[in-house]
Homo-oligomer: A and B are copies of this chain.
């Protein structure tokens, strides 16, 4: 049993094994892409279903090998990417049909995301990107309050004037997201409202000024964070290297002085 475990661990860590899995994920991606073309899908429906089944079972075996190869089941599921892999593959077995066709198909597309968990450099980068989210917590909360207040005011003021944009609170929030991306905020959203309520410009202008300012500061925070981290990971600077030499020199001088004293 232990020997089999050892075998699984070595297999899971071996380069060719990872290479094959990456290739199969790629193949899976291509198949899923081809399926979206109705002309190709309809004439090869059975082939597509077969390929999907085969790939799902290969991925299941892969997960099992990595699960057996790990120290214990709990250590395997401690790594969030393993949990992610497990859920993606397991869901392929559970949701196999009936009414949930769309859910099923979207779950199958998400299998392409497994490329991130399998390719180490991608995994590292996504981890780094996810790690920047907690540091944004406070500013996202601020942005949320800001959106909510403008959303409620917008609904109150323009509910009757522009029901397609500000008809309800959730419609307003979506419209405000559109406005903060600066997409058709004037030509599409504000100018038709201005015709009925000429004083409405303050709502949009202040929203854009405050919104872009806060979002810009959110981004600046991320940049500053990144620059700092980069400078901390840096190799020792020329000043540091010179200081090490200075310290050596001082130690020698001290020794010389002590020798002088003794003599």
Q: A194 to nearest B CB, angstroms?
A: 8
Report if A100 contacts B (CB, 8 A): no
A95 at the interface (CB under 8 A from B): no
A261-B256 in contact (CB<8A):
yes
User: 1/0 per position for A223-263, CB-CB distance to B under 8 A?
Assistant: 11011101100101111101111110111111011111101
Interface size on A, residues (CB 8 A): 94
Write the nearest CB–CB distance from A132 to chain B, whole angstroms.
8
Does A83 have its Cβ within 8 Å of any Cβ on chain B?
Answer: no
Chain B residues with CB under 8 Å of A153's CB are 106, 109
Residues of B within 8 A of A259 (CB): 261
Q: How far is the CA of A145 from the CA of B121 in the complex (A)?
A: 14
Contact of A205 among B177, B184, B217 (CB under 8 A): B177
119-142 of chain A: CB within 8 A of chain B? 119, 121-122, 125-126, 129, 132, 138-139, 141-142
List the number of copies, as a whole number. Answer: 4
Q: Is the interface of A mostly helix, strand, loop or mixed?
A: helix
Given contacts A186-B183, A220-B226, A246-B250, contact A113 B159 (CB under 8 A): no
Point out the residues of chain B lying under 8 angstroms from A33, CB to CB.
148, 151-152, 169
The listed residue (B149, B220, B243) touching A113 by CB distance below 8 A is: B149
Given A36-B169, A249-B250, answer yes or no on A216-B224 (Cβ-Cβ < 8 Å): no
List residues 87-106 of chain A with CB under 8 A from any CB of chain B: 102, 105-106
> For residue A115, which residue of chain B has the nearest CB?
B145
Report if A216-B219 is in contact (Cβ < 8 Å); known contacts: A149-B110, A249-B247.
yes
Cβ-based interface call for A54 (8 A): no
The 10 closest A-B pairs by CB, nearest first: A184-B187, A178-B186, A36-B155, A242-B243, A187-B188, A249-B250, A256-B257, A181-B182, A36-B169, A109-B152
Starting from the known contacts A33-B169, A129-B213, 6 additional A-B residue pairs (CB-CB under 8 Å) come to A29-B148, A186-B188, A216-B222, A217-B226, A237-B239, A257-B260
